[in-house]
Amino acid sequence: MRCNFKSQVEEYFSYYLEELQEAGYIKEWFYERDTFDLSDSISEPYLLQGKYKVLKKTEHLLHKASITADFTIVWTDKAKNIFYLDREVPINCKASEIPFRISWKAHQWPFSISYIEIKGSSEAKTSSSVSFPYKQKWLFWKEGIYIQKIKPFAPKKKSGILFQSTFTPKKVIDIERYVRDCKYGRQGESKLKYDYKTLNQFIYNINN
């Protein structure tokens, strides 16, 4: 899927999804497909005394509010309790070790679906980062739809990073190498300062 991603971390996450789709864990995925309305725009009437008569006017008070999931993931059953948590099937690990959550409302649909908000490893205090937690709760309260925040990538070891807790896509491993000798490393050496795993290594560790 070719998309105009807004950040490198979103592009890196797409490589993660591509690899899972090729391996049969994902049926399909979408970028910025699903937008959920939280409220309509709000205007209130008022009366204006004109020269000859009273006029009915409208004052705009609030803009329409909505939230768009960065990614929509449609899982296959193969991913159950490996990549997404099925709350009705017993697991033999901590729930926190399974990285993705299904939207609660999605349990009513034919497929298991996750809605994802992507953030960088060091989340900047942008208007989006400030407003997201409120919109996330608002949507869940209003529609029963959960949008999960994911931090996919950090080059150094750090907690709460998806690639470090599961696997690092092969494309990212290939990209994150020094192209020439420098004070940080030699040409061809990895820039990744954590013990990364491929998808096959991750699945092998789960099964053994």
Dig out the tokens for 88 from the structure.
């009705």
Q: Regarding beta strands 71-75 and 112-118, do their DSSP bridges make them parallel or antiparallel, or are they unpaired? A: antiparallel
Quote the pLDDT of residue 184: 82
In a domain, residue 125? The reply is yes
8 A C-beta contact, residue 69 and residue 116: yes
Q: Is residue 167 part of a domain?
A: yes
Give the chain's largest Cα–Cα span. Answer: 86
Task: Tell whether 164 is covered by a domain.
Answer: yes
Where is 73: in which H helix or E strand? strand 71-75
* Across 25-43, average pLDDT: 96
In the chain, the number of structural domains is: 1
Asked if residue 43 is part of any domain, the answer here is no
Instruction: Report the alpha-carbon distance of residue 40 to residue 71 in Å, rounded.
Output: 24
Asked whether residue 50 is assigned to any structural domain, the reply reads: no
Query: Has residue 80 been placed in a domain?
Result: yes
Interval 3-15 mean pLDDT: 93
Tens-digit pLDDT profile for residues 147-198: 999 999 999 999 999 999 999 999 999 999 998 888 888 888 999 999 999 9
In a domain, 23, yes or no: yes
Q: Is the model more confident about 4 or about 18? A: 18
pLDDT confidence bin for 3, thresholds 50/70/90: confident
- Domain that includes residue 92, residue range: 8-38+65-207
> With pLDDT > 70 as the criterion, what percentage of the chain qualifies?
94
3-state SS assignment for residue 182 = strand
The pTM (predicted TM-score) of the whole model is 0.89
Domain membership of residue 48 (yes or no) is: no
